Structures are given as C-alpha cells and as structure tokens.
Amino acid sequence: MRIATWNVNSITARLPRLLAWLETSRTDVLCIQEAKIAEDQFPFDRLRDLGYEAAVHATGRWNGVAVLSRVGLEDVVKGLPGDPGYEGVQEPRAISATCGPVRVWSVYVPNGREVEHPHYVYKLQWFEALRAAVAGDAGGSRPFAVLGDYNVAPTDDDVYDPAVFEGATHVTPAERAALTALRETGLSDVVPRPLKYDHPFTYWDYRQLCFPKNRGMRIDLVYANEPFAKAVTDAYVDREERKGKGASDHAPVVVDLDV
C-alpha cells in the first residue's frame, strides 16, 4: 500500500501534474494540503476517472485539505475537534478518513507568520487541539498516521542553514515542543534521515533559486503510530515532482506499507 502527502499549493494550478503523478506513482492514498478551492469546484470527476474517491474540506482562497483514495473512503471527519479558530473563523485545515486498513489525517498546520503575531499563538493552540484529537487513534491497534504540512522543521538538520531562520517561525522551541507533544501520544516520524540523499527537504521557496541551490526545509511530515510504523517498507521525498514548470513549492512525501 502506498500513502503520500503533498501540499499542492492550489489544486487548480497543479491539476495536470497531480493527475499525471497519481498515474505514474500508483499511490493508493494521497493527503492533500492547500487545495485553495471551494469544495463544489473540486475536480471529483477527473479523479474518479482515475479510480479515486475524494473527501474534501475546503472553502476556496487559502487553506483546504483533502484525502484521495482508491482503496475505500469511510468515516470521514471534516475539521479539527476543539479547533481554536483564528479571528473567529475555523479554517479548513484538517480532515480524517479510513482508507482500507489505515486511518489517516491530512493536516495543514497554521503558518504562524511571525513569533510576535497572533497567528503564532493560534498555531500553538491549533497544535494542542490536534494532539488531543489524535491521541485515541495514536494509541490504538489500527495503523494510523497524521500526514501533512506541519509548518515546523523538527530539528536544525531539517533546514538548509539554521542561522538564516534564527528568530523566525518554523524552528522555535515552542513549535518543536508542540511536535514533541504530538509524538508523545504514541506517534513517530516514519521518514528517516538521511534517505537516498542528504537533507531530504520537502519545501523550497520559489524565490532566489532556492530549489536549484537546495535551500529548503523539511516541514511535510508523516507521524504514525506503532502498527503503521512497523508496516513501513520504504519512504522517500519525490524531489522530481518539484522540478520544472508549474511545480508546487512542496514535493510529495511517499510511504510504502506492507499491510
């Protein structure tokens, strides 16, 4: 079974590449972030033609998450229980579903913007709500994973130059402590370092030739419980999908399971 996560940075802009990637990668379940589309405009028919069902939580503009599956799609939950909301609005940042033998969450953690910004406080509150929401499944016997764009680099090895990020979001002790608290529910990072190359980054800014210069961050993560982790046979970042015209600024992260 092949499960992946990908921040597509607009499914409308990325649709031709998404459809081609699904066909060539033979992914069974894909968690999507930053769909940036209203649910009634989501390309359900195009995906159905490839054999995928889709569960979507999106309202257009920013944010938006989805789970695509060709192995079943049941018990869908849209939104994060206990979501603190931002400026009175609960944003579409989380969706969960059961896909065959596995239950997954697709999450798009708030960016945080700046350390002194209210959005940073919201980010930490959102992490705490996520931790509470997944704790039951994390300790269960069914394979379970939380996949997505966490907007946090777990360690200094997960950014190209720690000095560049000093004082910025994505690397602060509080954000990394939130990741630790999430793992302590019974989850672990199932994408090892190093992979088949040094610094398996997942995100590279479009500006300043960041991708050609490999000035990236590893912020797209797969945190899984023990039954899921024990079933992992391979994991990789598909850097090739970050190349070329019309690419997202994130690469897919792929995990193979024997379940």
pLDDT digits (tens, 9 = 90+) for 93-103: 999 999 999 99
Does position 195 have pLDDT exceeding 70, yes or no?
no
Are the C-beta atoms of residues 158 and 151 closer than 8 Å to each other? no
Alpha-carbon span 20 to 135, nearest angstrom: 35
> H helices within the chain, ranges in order?
11-25, 44-48, 118-138, 173-183, 226-231
CATH of the domain at 77: 3.60.10.10
pLDDT tens for each residue of 108-121: 999 999 999 999 99
Q: Residue 235 corresponds to which tokens in the numbers above?
A: 């994991």
What band does 194 get if pLDDT is binned at 50, 70 and 90? Answer: low
pLDDT at 165 over 60: yes
pLDDT classification of 199: cutoffs 50, 70, 90: low
- pLDDT for 197: 55
Residue 193, pLDDT > 80, answer no
Number of domains making up the chain: 1
Confidence at residue 74, expressed as pLDDT on a 0 to 100 scale = 98
pLDDT at 198: 58
Domain span at 142 = 2-257
Percent of the chain with pLDDT over 70: 97
* Phi, psi angles (nearest 5°) of residue 68: -105, 135
